[in-house]
C-alpha cells in the first residue's frame, strides 16, 4: 500500500538531494579529508596493459598530486605499489604501477608513455612525473627519462654510467645494496667523488637484490619531493625531514657504518634546500676525513678488485666444470657466509653468489632460445643448488622433459614453477601449447 502520492515522492526526492548537496558543501568548507583510493585499471589505448593505482587521502583543496610511475622487473605491480604506499601517505603522490612492463619487454618506452597518458586522463595528477624501478625496471626508467621529461628518478638495484647520468635533466637517487651483485655499478662513484654527476645521490643498504623496504623508499621519496619544492619546502615537513637525516647519520656513525653515514651527509649537503642546514656539510667532511671511513673505503676497493678477478673464471666454469666441482665451490661459499665476521668480505661472497644466480638465469635463457638441452642439463642443477625456491629453476626444468615428449613431467615442473611464484603468463603461453597450459589449472 502506497503511503505517498507521486507529487509527495518527487518532493521527498528533491529534499534528499538538496540535503546531500548541502552536506557535501559543508564538508568541503570544514576541510573533510578525501579517503584513500586503490584500484586496478587498464590503459584505454592498450587494454592488455593493466596497472595498479593508489591515491592517498588528501584535503579537498589539493586538486592534483604528482605522479610516481613504478616499474617492477617482474611486472608485479601490486607488490611494488605496496612498497610505496607508506611514502605516498607521507609525501602525497599518486602511485601507478605497471603489471605489463617487465624484464625483456619490447617497446617499454612506448608502454610507459601510454601508461602516463592514461593516468593523466583519469586521475588527479599534475604535471610532475617521478619514475622508479627495480633492477631491469630501474634500467627501463633510466632509458625512458633519457628521452622524456621527468622530474626525478629513484633507481633500485641497478645504475648506469656517468655519461647517461649527466644527460638526464633530473635528480637521480640510487638505492644500492652493498651485497647486491650489481653493486659495482654504484661503487664506482664512491671512489670518484669529483667525477660523480651532480644529479646523482646514493643511498647504501643491505637489501641485496630486491626492492628496499618501505621506510627507505619513503625516505627517498621525501628527498625527491622536498628537493623539487626547493625554497618553498619550508616549515615542519622540511625541518622534520632534516632532523631524521641527522638521526640516521648519528646512528650509523655510532655503529661504525661510515660509508652509509657519509653518503647521507653528502646527499644532504649537496642538495637544496637541505644544504641550508650547514651542519650536513660539516658532518660530511668530518666523516670523510675519519680513519674509519678511509679504512672502509680501502677494504671495499680490495674486495671489489677480488670479485672482478674471479667473475670471468666463474663464467668459464659454467661451460667446463661438472656438478661435483660446483658443489665444492658452493659449499665453500656457504661456509664463508656462516663464519665470516668481516661485513665487507661477507658482502663479497653474497655478491658472488648472486652473480652465479644471474649467470644461471642468463645461460638458461640462452639454452632455451637455442634448444640446447646439453647446456640446460648442466645449468639447471647448479641453479637449483643455488636458489632452490626460484621458480625459474622449475620453469627451465620443464623444457628438458617437453623436448623429450614427456608431457606428464613437463606439467609437473610447470606446476611447481607456478607454486614457487612464476607469474609470466604471456611467456608461458608463448612457450607451451594449449594442451599443456590446460592441465595447469
Could you tell me if 30 and 60 are in contact, meaning their C-beta atoms sit under 8 angstroms apart? no
Domains, the chain, ranges and CATH?
A: 37-233 (3.40.50.1820), 305-440 (1.25.40.10)
What is the C-alpha separation between 174 and 132, in angstroms, rounded?
10
Coil, helix or strand for 354?
Answer: helix
- What local confidence, expressed as pLDDT, does residue 230 receive? 60
Q: Give the residue from 400, 408, 398 showing the smallest Cα distance to 371.
A: 400
- What local confidence, expressed as pLDDT, does residue 18 receive? 36
> Strands of 37-43's sheet, edge to edge?
37-43, 46-55, 94-98, 65-71, 125-134, 152-156, 172-177, 200-205
Partnered with residue 155 across adjacent β-strands are 133, 174
Per-residue pLDDT in tens (0 to 9) along the chain, 441 residues: 344 444 443 343 334 333 343 334 444 445 688 999 999 999 999 999 999 999 999 988 888 999 999 999 999 999 999 999 999 999 999 999 999 999 989 999 999 999 999 999 999 999 999 999 999 999 999 999 999 999 999 999 999 999 999 999 999 999 999 999 999 999 999 998 888 999 999 999 987 888 999 999 999 999 999 998 765 555 678 999 999 999 999 999 999 999 999 999 999 999 999 999 999 999 999 999 999 999 999 999 999 999 999 999 999 999 999 999 999 999 999 999 999 999 999 999 999 999 999 999 999 999 999 999 999 999 999 999 999 999 999 999 999 999 999 999 999 999 999 999 998 888 899 999 999 999 998
- What local confidence, expressed as pLDDT, does residue 39 receive? 97
Burial zone of 423 (CB within 10 Å; 0-12 exposed, 13-18 middle, 19+ buried): middle
Burial zone of 123 (CB within 10 Å; 0-12 exposed, 13-18 middle, 19+ buried): middle
Could you tell me if 387 and 393 are in contact, meaning their C-beta atoms sit under 8 angstroms apart? yes
Give me the helices (H) in 270-372, please: 279-288, 291-320, 323-339, 343-370
Which element (helix H / strand E) includes 416? helix 407-419
DSSP string covering 33-63: PBPPEEEEEEETTEEEEEEEEEE--B-TT--
Taking phi over 0 as left and psi of -120 to 50 as alpha, with beta for the rest, 78 belongs to alpha
Burial zone of 419 (CB within 10 Å; 0-12 exposed, 13-18 middle, 19+ buried): exposed
- What local confidence, expressed as pLDDT, does residue 233 receive? 53
Partnered with residue 152 across adjacent β-strands are 130
Please enumerate in sequence order all residues whose Cβ is within 8 A of that of 242, keeping only pairs 6 or more positions apart, or say none.
Answer: 268, 274, 277, 280
Coil, helix or strand for 404?
Answer: coil
- What local confidence, expressed as pLDDT, does residue 143 receive? 97
pTM assigned to the model: 0.87
- What local confidence, expressed as pLDDT, does residue 29 receive? 46
- What local confidence, expressed as pLDDT, does residue 423 receive? 84
C-alpha cell at 272: 637544496
Coil, helix or strand for 133?
Answer: strand
What is the C-alpha separation between 295 and 370, in angstroms, rounded?
48
Which element (helix H / strand E) includes 114? helix 108-122
- What local confidence, expressed as pLDDT, does residue 234 receive? 53
C-alpha cell at 196: 660523480
Coil, helix or strand for 139?
Answer: helix
Could you tell me if 54 and 87 are in contact, meaning their C-beta atoms sit under 8 angstroms apart? no
C-alpha cell at 293: 671511513
**CA angle 203–206–207, rounded 5-degree value:** 90
Amino acid at each position: 500500500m502506497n503511503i505517498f502520492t507521486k507529487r509527495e515522492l518527487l518532493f521527498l526526492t528533491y529534499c534528499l538531494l538538496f540535503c546531500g548537496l548541502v552536506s557535501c558543501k559543508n564538508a568541503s568548507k570544514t576541510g573533510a579529508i578525501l579517503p584513500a583510493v586503490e584500484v586496478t585499471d587498464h590503459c584505454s589505448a592498450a587494454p592488455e596493459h593493466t596497472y595498479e593505482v593508489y591515491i592517498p587521502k588528501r584535503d579537498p583543496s589539493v586538486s592534483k598530486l604528482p605522479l610516481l610511475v613504478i616499474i617492477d622487473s617482474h611486472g608485479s605491480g601490486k607488490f611494488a605499489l605496496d612498497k610505496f604506499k607508506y611514502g605516498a601517505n607521507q609525501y602525497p603522490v599518486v602511485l601507478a604501477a605497471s603489471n605489463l612492463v617487465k624484464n625483456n619487454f619490447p617497446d617499454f618506452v612506448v608502454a610507459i608513455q601510454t601508461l602516463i597518458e592514461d593516468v593523466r586522463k583519469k586521475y588527479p595528477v599534475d604535471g610532475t612525473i617521478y619514475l622508479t624501478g627495480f633492477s631491469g625496471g630501474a634500467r627501463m626508467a633510466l632509458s625512458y627519462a633519457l628521452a622524456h621529461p621527468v622530474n626525478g628518478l629513484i633507481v633500485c638495484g641497478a645504475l648506469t654510467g656517468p655519461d647517461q647520468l649527466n644527460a638526464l635533466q633530473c635528480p637521480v637517487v640510487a638505492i644500492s645494496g652493498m651485497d647486491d651483485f650489481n653493486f659495482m655499478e654504484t661503487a664506482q662513484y664512491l671512489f670518484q667523488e669529483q667525477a660523480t654527476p651532480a644529479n646523482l645521490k646514493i643511498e647504501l643498504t643491505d637489501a641485496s637484490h630486491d626492492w628496499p623496504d618501505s621506510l627507505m623508499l619513503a625516505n627517498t621519496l621525501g628527498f625527491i619531493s622536498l628537493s623539487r619544492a626547493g625554497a618553498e619546502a619550508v616549515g615542519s615537513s622540511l625541518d622534520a625531514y632534516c632532523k631524521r637525516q641527522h638521526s640516521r647519520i648519528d646512528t650509523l656513525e655510532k655503529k661504525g657504518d661510515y660509508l652509509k653515514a657519509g653518503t647521507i651527509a653528502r646527499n644532504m649537503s649537496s642538495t637544496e634546500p637541505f644544504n641550508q642546514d650547514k651542519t650536513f656539510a660539516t658532518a660530511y667532511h668530518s666523516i670523510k676525513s675519519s680513519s674509519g671511513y678511509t679504512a672502509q673505503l680501502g677494504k671495499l676497493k680490495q674486495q671489489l678488485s677480488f670479485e672482478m678477478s674471479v667473475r670471468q673464471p666463474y663464467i668459464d666454469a659454467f661451460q667446463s666444470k661438472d656438478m661435483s666441482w660446483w658443489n665444492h665451490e658452493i659449499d665453500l661459499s656457504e661456509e664463508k657466509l656462516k663464519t665470516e665476521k668481516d661485513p665487507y668480505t661477507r658482502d663479497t661472497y653474497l655478491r658472488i653468489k648472486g652473480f652465479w644466480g644471474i649467470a644461471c638465469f642468463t645461460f638458461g635463457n640462452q639454452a632455451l632460445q637455442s634448444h640446447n638441452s646439453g647446456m640446460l642439463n648442466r645449468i639447471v642443477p647448479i641453479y637449483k643448488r643455488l636458489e632452490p625456491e626460484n621458480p625459474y629453476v622449475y620453469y627451465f626444468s620443464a623444457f628438458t622433459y617437453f623436448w623429450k615428449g614427456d608431457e606428464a613431467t613437463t606439467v609437473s615442473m610447470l606446476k611447481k614453477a607456478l607454486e614457487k611464484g612464476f607469474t609470466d603468463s604471456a611467456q608461458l603461453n608463448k612457450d607451451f601449447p594449449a594442451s599443456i597450459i590446460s592441465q595447469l589449472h
